[in-house]
Structure 1
Amino acid sequence: MCGICCLVSLSQHPPNISLLKEDILYNLRRRGPSSSQELVKTVPHLPYHCLFSGHVLHLRGQMTPQPMEDPTSDNVLLWNGEVFDGIPVEAEENDTDIIFHHLCSCSNDSDILSLLSSIRGPWSFIFYQACKHCLWFGRDFFGRRSLLWQFNEELDNILALTSVSAISDHQWREVPASGIFKVDLQDCAATKAVTLSLYQWRYPSRENPSEEGVSEKVSTHLPTCVSLVINESNSLTAPVVPLNKEVCNIPEEFQLLHFIKNVDDMEVLQMFLAEQHKKKLVHQFIDVMSGAIKRRVLCLVRDADQLQGDVLGDVRKTEIAILFSGGVDSMLIAALADRHVPVEEPIDLLNVAFMVPEQGSQNSSTKHRKGKNQLPPSPEGLNVNNIMAGNSVPSFNVPDRITGRAGLEELKNINPSRLWNFVEINVTLEDLKAMRQQHICHLVYPLDTVLDDSIGCAVWFASRGKGLLTNQGDKRPYQSPAKIVLTGIGADEQLAGYSRHRVCFEKHGLEGLNEELGMELGRISSRNLGRDDRVIGDHGKEARFPFLDEDVVSFLNSLPVWEKANLAVRRGIGEKLLLRLAAAELGLTASSVLPKRAMQFGSRIAKMENRNEKASDKCTRLQTLSIE
């Protein structure tokens, strides 16, 4: 994980680091606390300059400060990513160093595009190719790492790129994850204008986006001084197979199972698992998810001699944390992480709750509990009364806290020898307002809806990992030291987990559902991933997304939709059916049939300040902060 930034100016004088506002540099340093440095590239006889600013969170191999500069070629690299596969990286090597060596060996555009196409893992990058006076930049196919851009006609700084910015007068936008961009700086210096060359992501065969659609999407927020050219002769190869949109030959069970009304939820899952073909698919899914999680929990430097502090006694330092609600997504991640994290190493389960009103002021809460976001009836094995009677603070007994504690007990049953650290992260209204103004509003930006605010705040507090740890019946303050945070984003988008998917299926059938799922994955970079990367990275931690591993996405994309979900079956089973079957096969019980509950409702942040807002509304709290 790194904070990367580049300023390009058309001027006879090098750009000054003061052009980067102190709040932006502060946010970049928080992402990369291990190393920070700047580099200015000045080219004789050409009126352009580049300022590179790199801030590193050291996770793999030898510590490698950025920006990296090659003394032979004068090339410069800023890299914010992880190479999990596709390019060989040994355990003792640093992937930034490996990528830079490969980039410096590229002799033409095709070589660069081929290299980037082969990487398996999340990344954003900025690469200055000195011999051709070109600046390359972009994000991976899914957009799992943040990169923002800004163009300014009025100042010498014609282009600014950064992992994270701050709310300001100048408009920042997220760099679209449509492909890789190249700017010819020599041409910019001659014309005093910017032309962006876009190299698109393309599937090797069918289902490629039209150039008109991509051009319109990218050009929407570009100023008039910037022109866009889509390179037709070269492109990147998408790292996943296209979505299977088959709708014929639907199995009879898909059409008939919705008639089974009086069968226990777990029994329904076992009925599916009794079918040989279905069970084979479930085991294939478990294997591919297990591989994705293995890469994400082992690709980091571990100090075997390092112990945690007084709270836990003499145990190994925690390296891996999971955003944990006790729902089926986070439970599957935890169960599979248990396979690969060293058994003597704890795993932190980060569970966030926002304070609910006291019992004396429950009129509106009572009405809310009757609504659609209430905690669903408890599946067999989940005793809510026993869970609530535990050590939880009553004001924070939100749905995700209850299911989280129940999930903890399931994980203990699966592996009682593992130290599972259930971290209760309790947020008051005062904490929320203070941290939103100091940090979160700048990280969510340039997104600005009520949904972005709710999820951004919930993820920020959760990933910070500062809360209470219950150890042998005693609660103590605890700060998670884990640098890696696993999150379940991508499961709902691929496995029809949202309520809108059920509505779409009921209105438009499997054809409509396929279209909706294709759209979900296509927009996940702009709706979710950039924001979540900025929010989690603010704590000097790295977000890793196993459901968006290339092998996982390719496996799920290869299946017809009815193998992934069966929305003819009731809520709590039909959505994300393949995932629920995998959880049941791993020995998870109550959590495998919990209905989907969005983080903003499960943690209760959505009802903490303004209950009359819609998720798509502009967030007035963020707008107020932007004016101040």
Structure 2
Amino acid sequence: MCGICCSVSFSVEHFSKDLKEDLLYNLNRRGPSSTKQLLKSDVSYQCLFSGHVLHLRGVLTAQPVEDERGNVFLWNGEVFSGIKVEAEENDTQVMFNYLSSCKTESDILSLFSEVQGPWSFIYYQACSHHLWFGRDFFGRRSLLWHFSNLGKSFCLSSVGAQTSGVAKQWQEVPASGIFRIDLKSPSISKCVVLKLYPWKCVSRENVMKECVNSLTQISADLPMFVSVVANEAELYLKEPVVPLNMTLPQAPLEIHCRNIASVPPARETLQVFLTDGHMKEVVQQFIDVLSIAVKRRVLCLPRDENLTPSEVLKTGERKANVAVLFSGGIDSMIIATLADHHVPLDEPIDLLNVAFMTKEKTMLTGFNKKRKKQKNYCELPSEESSKNAAAGDHGKQFSVPDRITGRAGLKELHAVNPSRIWNFVEINVSLEELQEFRRTRICQLVQPLDTVLDDSIGCAVWFASRGTGWLVTQDEVKSYQSSAKVVLTGIGADEQLAGYSRHRVRFQTHGLEGLNKEIEMELGRISSRNLGRDDRVIGDHGKEARFPFLDENVVSFLNSLPVWEKANLTLPRGIGEKLILRLAAVELGLTTSAVLPKRAMQFGSRIAKMEKNNEKASDKCERLQVISLENLSIEKEIKT
């Protein structure tokens, strides 16, 4: 994880030797291990590069990196596959070595087509005066652009800054491909021309039509003096995943158990599906590919292997290097279980569970009563039966649904591997704390997204990934700060496996064909809807978000399956949605969590109930309005 930035000026009066203070501050929070700046000038332009590194791999490599020919590289990514990176190597240097040897545009595109893993980058080619930049296919790393002064300057950055109180200054660079700009041309033409090298599915027709549509959409959101055009050679990046299987069944689907739709979801119900030899094989293949994805994400980081057991005893228990955003739901349970397979056994895993304070009369009782009335009710431990009451004097006010399922999930994980130290971190957020940190930190990280949903998810993820809370055991309750630099999240599971209620609505109205189109749409918009925001929010703590469900091999495997092998929405909630994931949970030895219905984070954590209850998720959120620079001094006083 890094904070990368390039500020470009095309007129002498806008040349600068430093970035604005608030932008530097935001970048530094993302990359606390190393900070460096580099200036490249020409008679017609100036580029100020700024790199801020969070060291996770190989030898600490300060950025930006420069070679003997004056080429400059900024990299915010992880190479998990496709390009060989040895355990002791740093992928920034490996990528730059390859880039420096590229002789043509095709060479550069071939390189980035091979990389598997999340990335955003900025690359300056000195001899051609070209600046290349872009994000990976899913947009798992944030990159923003900001054009100003009528084409006289622009800026690329992992995170924005609130420079003048005007909203929408920063926009996300679309994950549509890689962009290139000729830095010499704006001084002559007085306009900025961005050339796009789009992602292309080799087997898909009408690529040119799709590219034209993409150009039109991108240009619509940019100032008049900025244009986006297709590259003349019609070169493309190769999409890293196979196309979605849109096959429809030739005959009506059979339900394994005729009465399955009328019984409450139970683990035994799922086991019926596993009596089918083909389904059992598909589920095992899914477990295998997802397990490899998790393995790559928990082993690609430095560990203190030099501590002897006696030194560990002197310094206390070994610290966690990996954390999971943990609700106890099916997604986070699967991720935690597979992480347990690969993280060294003597190393704890942090389970980050966030709860927002409920009102005086907590919603808990009503929540349980409502759930018990539902046909699809799945038994959950009550507040009274939980031995681990929430930490602090106001524990009952934080007994939200995700806290309850989280504690139940913790018991399951203990049963799966009692030898592992599972740090269940109870992160309790009051209304006052939420409002303070939203105003001083979170609102500018969520921007340029601005809906009520972005506010709820952005705030919940920010507090959860910060990892400041209470560690509750049978013996004691103590304050705890997670030291894990890697945060695993289950995003991508719902989008691919029909986990949202809108998938069920689409299926009911348009059948499997409509469901396929909904899943295709979800994956197509995940970069702009979720991932840039989550990367900025988690990265603000000097931590790196990693997304196992969006591993290229995982997505390709799921894309290759017909939709009915991934989900069966003729079945009730808690079974039908994410069916293949629930079957995997059974195979991995999980119990209650395998049949928990989907519950959105904003409702499970109860953040959606803290302030205005009459808002729609798609409404513009007034709480995310841009603040002025006078808050900069306040935010610098905040202790993370």
Q: Is the 8 A contact 2:140 2:527 kept in 1?
A: yes
Offset from partner CA, 1:288-326 (integer Å, 9 cap, x none): 000000000000111124599999963322100000000
Give the Cα separation in 2 of the matches to 1:168 and 1:237: 37
Q: Is the 8 A contact 1:307 1:317 kept in 2?
A: no
Residue in 2 that maps onto 1:282: 283
Instruction: Kindly indicate whether residue 15 of structure 2 is the aligned counterpart of residue 15 of structure 1.
Output: yes
Instruction: Kindly indicate whether residue 438 of structure 2 is the aligned counterpart of residue 442 of structure 1.
Output: no
Q: Which amino acid aligns with 2:335?
A: I
Instruction: Kindly indicate whether residue 158 of structure 2 is the aligned counterpart of residue 163 of structure 1.
Output: yes
Instruction: Kindly indicate whether residue 237 of structure 2 is the aligned counterpart of residue 236 of structure 1.
Output: yes
Q: Is the 8 A contact 2:332 2:489 kept in 1?
A: yes
Using the TM superposition, give the Cα deviation of residue 272 of structure 1 relative to its aligned residue in structure 2, in angstroms: 0.4
Give the Cα separation in 2 of the matches to 1:470 and 1:153: 54
> For 1:406-555, what aligned pairs fall within 5 Å after superposition?
406-555=408-557
> For 1:385-396, what aligned pairs fall within 5 Å after superposition?
385=383, 387-392=385-390, 393-396=395-398
Give the Cα separation in 1 of the matches to 2:133 and 2:588: 41
> For 1:19-98, what aligned pairs fall within 5 Å after superposition?
20-43=19-42, 46-70=43-67, 72-98=68-94
Residue in 2 that maps onto 1:153: 149
Using the TM superposition, give the Cα deviation of residue 16 of structure 1 relative to its aligned residue in structure 2, in angstroms: 1.6
Q: Which amino acid aligns with 1:103?
A: L
Residue in 2 that maps onto 1:116: 112
Q: Is the 8 A contact 1:378 1:384 kept in 2?
A: no
Matched residue SS, 1:42? strand
Give the Cα separation in 2 of the matches to 1:383 and 1:271: 26
Using the TM superposition, give the Cα deviation of residue 367 of structure 1 relative to its aligned residue in structure 2, in angstroms: 7.4
Give the Cα separation in 2 of the matches to 1:323 and 1:257: 37
TM-score, normalised to structure 1's length?
0.94
Cα distance change on mapping 1:156 and 1:370 into 2, 3 Å: farther
Give the Cα separation in 2 of the matches to 1:78 and 1:624: 28
Give the Cα separation in 1 of the matches to 2:458 and 2:481: 20
Matched residue SS, 2:529? helix
Cα distance change on mapping 1:188 and 1:371 into 2, 3 Å: farther
Offset from partner CA, 1:66-94 (integer Å, 9 cap, x none): 01111x21000010000000000000000
Residue in 2 that maps onto 1:580: 582
Offset from partner CA, 1:344-397 (integer Å, 9 cap, x none): 0000000000001123xx6x88778777999997635x4334554532211100
Give the Cα separation in 2 of the matches to 1:119 and 1:347: 28
Residue in 2 that maps onto 1:252: 253
Residue in 2 that maps onto 1:213: 213
Q: Which amino acid aligns with 1:276?
A: G
Residue in 2 that maps onto 1:4: 4
Matched residue SS, 1:349? strand
Matched residue SS, 1:150? strand
Cα distance change on mapping 1:602 and 1:17 into 2, 3 Å: farther
Cα distance change on mapping 1:524 and 1:373 into 2, 3 Å: farther
Q: Which amino acid aligns with 2:72?
A: V
Q: Is the 8 A contact 1:497 1:576 kept in 2?
A: yes
Give the Cα separation in 2 of the matches to 1:90 and 1:194: 39
Cα distance change on mapping 1:513 and 1:252 into 2, 3 Å: closer
Give the Cα separation in 1 of the matches to 2:397 and 2:323: 25
Offset from partner CA, 1:452-504 (integer Å, 9 cap, x none): 00000000000000000023431100000000000000000000000000000
Q: Percent identity of the aligned residues?
A: 62
Using the TM superposition, give the Cα deviation of residue 21 of structure 1 relative to its aligned residue in structure 2, in angstroms: 2.6
Cα distance change on mapping 1:116 and 1:8 into 2, 3 Å: same
Matched residue SS, 1:418? coil
Residue in 1 that maps onto 2:304: 303
Residue in 1 that maps onto 2:637: none
Give the Cα separation in 2 of the matches to 1:4 and 1:374: 52
Matched residue SS, 2:149? coil
Give the Cα separation in 1 of the matches to 2:17 and 2:176: 30
Using the TM superposition, give the Cα deviation of residue 569 of structure 1 relative to its aligned residue in structure 2, in angstroms: 0.1
Offset from partner CA, 1:42-65 (integer Å, 9 cap, x none): 12xx31110001100000000000
Using the TM superposition, give the Cα deviation of residue 509 of structure 1 relative to its aligned residue in structure 2, in angstroms: 0.3
Give the Cα separation in 2 of the matches to 1:355 and 1:9: 47
Matched residue SS, 2:123? strand
Give the Cα separation in 2 of the matches to 1:390 and 1:536: 27
Instruction: Kindly indicate whether residue 220 of structure 2 is the aligned counterpart of residue 224 of structure 1.
Output: no
Using the TM superposition, give the Cα deviation of residue 188 of structure 1 relative to its aligned residue in structure 2, in angstroms: 2.1
Q: Is the 8 A contact 1:40 1:52 kept in 2?
A: yes
Matched residue SS, 1:522? helix
Using the TM superposition, give the Cα deviation of residue 186 of structure 1 relative to its aligned residue in structure 2, in angstroms: 1.7
Q: Is the 8 A contact 1:3 1:28 kept in 2?
A: yes
Offset from partner CA, 1:198-217 (integer Å, 9 cap, x none): 00000111265712321122
TM-score, normalised to structure 2's length?
0.92
Q: Is the 8 A contact 2:131 2:180 kept in 1?
A: yes
Give the Cα separation in 2 of the matches to 1:95 and 1:429: 41
Q: Which amino acid aligns with 1:51?
A: L
Unaligned runs of 5+ in 2: 631-640
Q: Is the 8 A contact 2:256 2:272 kept in 1?
A: no
Give the Cα separation in 1 of the matches to 2:493 and 2:475: 34
2:102 to 102, 106, 109: 106
Q: Which amino acid aligns with 2:175?
A: A
Offset from partner CA, 1:397-433 (integer Å, 9 cap, x none): 0000000000000000000000000000000001101
> For 1:585-624, what aligned pairs fall within 5 Å after superposition?
585-623=587-625
Give the Cα separation in 1 of the matches to 2:143 and 2:152: 21
Using the TM superposition, give the Cα deviation of residue 580 of structure 1 relative to its aligned residue in structure 2, in angstroms: 0.4
Using the TM superposition, give the Cα deviation of residue 253 of structure 1 relative to its aligned residue in structure 2, in angstroms: 2.0
Residue in 1 that maps onto 2:267: 266
Using the TM superposition, give the Cα deviation of residue 254 of structure 1 relative to its aligned residue in structure 2, in angstroms: 4.7
Give the Cα separation in 2 of the matches to 1:502 and 1:38: 50
Cα distance change on mapping 1:76 and 1:243 into 2, 3 Å: same
Matched residue SS, 2:419? coil
Residue in 1 that maps onto 2:636: none
Matched residue SS, 1:149? strand
Give the Cα separation in 1 of the matches to 2:295 and 2:444: 33
Using the TM superposition, give the Cα deviation of residue 233 of structure 1 relative to its aligned residue in structure 2, in angstroms: 1.9
Quote the RMSD (CA, aligned, Å): 2.4
How many residue pairs match? The answer is 619
Cα distance change on mapping 1:372 and 1:141 into 2, 3 Å: farther
Matched residue SS, 2:127? helix
Residue in 2 that maps onto 1:316: 318
Give the Cα separation in 1 of the matches to 2:428 and 2:372: 20
Using the TM superposition, give the Cα deviation of residue 258 of structure 1 relative to its aligned residue in structure 2, in angstroms: 6.9
